[in-house]
Structure 1
Amino acid sequence: MALKFHTLDVFTEQRFGGNPLAVVPEADGLSDDQMQAIAREFNLSETVFIQTPTRPAHSARMRIFTPRSEIAFAGHPTIGTAVLLAELNAPAHNGEKDALIVLEQRIGTVRVGARVRAGAAAFAEFDAPKLPAEAGVLPPDDVVAAGLGLIPSEVGFENHAPVCFAAGNTFAFVPVTSLEAIGRARINGAHWERAFEQQGVSGVYVYTRQCAHTSSAFHVRMFAPQVGIPEDPATGSAAVGLAGIVHQFDALPDGTHRRVIEQGYEMGRPSQIVLTLVVASGKLTTVRIGGSAVRVSEGTLEV
């Protein structure tokens, strides 16, 4: 059986940056084992398989696989799949395409607005299907620091402290003092297991306010060896959790707040994630993730 596939770079306006994604359309005939084998072959952070939606009004059903397992939700597959479907299927008006792409995911239905313009990278954004909530407790800072190969004084800044948040996937969020310290962070052998694997998190999201660009609010890295991702160039689902962190520690006033997150720089794949938070009556009511995506390649799989 021959299947077409596409690859895109997501959360970037330029090819060979951002987070690469493989998308396999017309994947209804594939078994779970076949999808997992294909994802393992691509060996990207995630591979998406597009299937016929359960409701005709929806755009597609999508299943998301890391090289090791299926996951319920992820940000860059959502953005990349929506951009691909908009470019392939949306009608053009005066050379422009605007589309609402409705994607059925294991976490629920996700509606994505996509904008395609000639001569520019396509842009898409979606409201997170779940709001972030605290989820579990991390060990003391010295244990957390050791897990990342850092010293305790490099963990935490201002009133920010390590904490777990979930918004479909659970991440450990670890604030660090500087760009230099975050550059040295790593998966530190047995110390990592003690600090994080026993906590049941999907990954560890390390962040600092020191950034490579003045337009960015946070510089981040994300490690998820538990699901086969040693390091991720851009992590939209974790950015949803960061919204909970920002709301909790930064005491945002009511209104709409926009933050740009830079990631992937240590990997040579610079990425920018646009995070929008809406706060009403002191509560976080909406989290929106946005970013650009560019198509890179297409081909045929023999299954």
Structure 2
Amino acid sequence: MYGYVIADVFTDTALEGNPLAVVPEADGLSAGRMQRIAREMNLSETTFVFPPTAGGDVRVRIFTPVGELPFAGHPTFGTAAVLAATGHPGVRGGELRMETGMGVVPFSFTGESGGGRVRTARMLQPIPVWRDYERAGELLDALGVSASVLPIEVYRNGPRHAFVGLGSVDELSALRVDLRALAEHDDLAANCFAPTGDPLVWRARMFSPAYGVTEDAGTGSAAGPLALHLGRHGRVPLGATITVRQGVEMGRPSTIRARATMAGGEVERVEISGSAVLVADGRLYV
């Protein structure tokens, strides 16, 4: 029997944001069993927490309904928030070092913690690498978009995120995606973004049938690279904190703050911050 917690991530309001299932003590579960539990939960991701093996405070494995990911933003961020909110011994002095398939990811927590809510958490993300996306034309066709306002580039920090810029929030909300065509883009999440009128506030939608996610309500692993993408192409100052609002069209609004810095042509730091709220807990009889 294993306990689990459901949290809504990138929000401080229950039943908004991006839901996540966390199994805080997963010792004894095989990879196959974890995959079946993730399929049973049927959320975009389910995480499983183990004792550390590489110098961190905890080790986390991440499963979508169709496979395991080495790293993803919403599940790692949400897991850290759950562990902080429930008093996990790995959280010490308001900090946590989480072992993932992309290395050790540090978190810090500030403000009040209690009542199922961590008011503010900050996450230092793996540094992404990027390149032009060689199937950009096919991607635009699958999204039903004629062109992108910025070059279509794909960033990898665990998942692969392709970024397609639209001219307005109205265009973003009106998207009608061909999910079958998009599923032919292996190991890829399609992230569409648009300006809001405030240069530091952006709207986003993410579609990834390749990762078993029709549409995602809040994509933490994409928010950091989006800040970098916008900064590299002169849409926001590098080093500025942007706000990414996602999940609006799904009725699950999420808010993520992201910041990226570069020096000498190299990325120095990519970080995101936000909130999460616990909404349920239970037991798995497996």
Q: TM-score, normalised by structure 1?
A: 0.85
Matched, 1:246 2:230: yes
Matched, 1:289 2:272: yes
Divergent runs of 4+, >4 A: 118-121
Asked if the contact 1:263–1:272 (Cα under 8 Å) also holds between the matched residues in 2, the reply is yes
Residues 68, 90 of structure 1: CA spacing in aligned structure 2 closer, same or farther, 3 A cutoff?
closer
RMSD: 2.3
Query: Which residue in the other structure is 2:108 paired with?
Result: 113
Q: Give the percent of matched residue pairs that are identical in Structure 1 and Structure 2.
A: 36
Asked if the contact 2:8–2:18 (Cα under 8 Å) also holds between the matched residues in 1, the reply is yes
Task: Give per-residue Cα distances to partners, 1:71-108, cap 9 Å, x unaligned.
Answer: 010111111111111122269xxxxx951111111111
- Code of the residue aligned with 1:171 in structure 2: it is H
Query: Which residue in the other structure is 1:21 paired with?
Result: 20
- Code of the residue aligned with 1:300 in structure 2: it is R
- Code of the residue aligned with 1:223 in structure 2: it is F
Larger deviation, residues 238-247 vs 38-47: 238-247
User: What is the correspondence of 1:1-303 to structure 2 with a 5 Å cutoff?
Assistant: 2-55=1-54, 58-89=56-87, 99-117=94-112, 121-134=118-131, 136-140=133-137, 143-150=138-145, 152=146, 155-157=147-149, 160-189=150-179, 191-192=181-182, 197-198=184-185, 200-210=186-196, 214=198, 217-250=201-234, 256-303=239-286
The separation in 1 between residues aligned to 2:47 and 2:174, in whole angstroms, is 32
The separation in 1 between residues aligned to 2:36 and 2:111, in whole angstroms, is 32
Deviation at 1:156, TM superposition (A): 2.4
What SS does the corresponding residue of 2:14 show, helix, strand or coil?
coil
Q: TM-score, normalised by structure 2?
A: 0.90
Asked if the contact 1:137–1:164 (Cα under 8 Å) also holds between the matched residues in 2, the reply is no
The separation in 1 between residues aligned to 2:260 and 2:193, in whole angstroms, is 18
Larger deviation, residues 114-123 vs 257-266: 114-123
Larger radius of gyration: 1
Asked if the contact 1:135–1:166 (Cα under 8 Å) also holds between the matched residues in 2, the reply is no
Deviation at 1:170, TM superposition (A): 1.1
- Code of the residue aligned with 1:131 in structure 2: it is P
Unaligned runs of 5+ in 1: 92-96
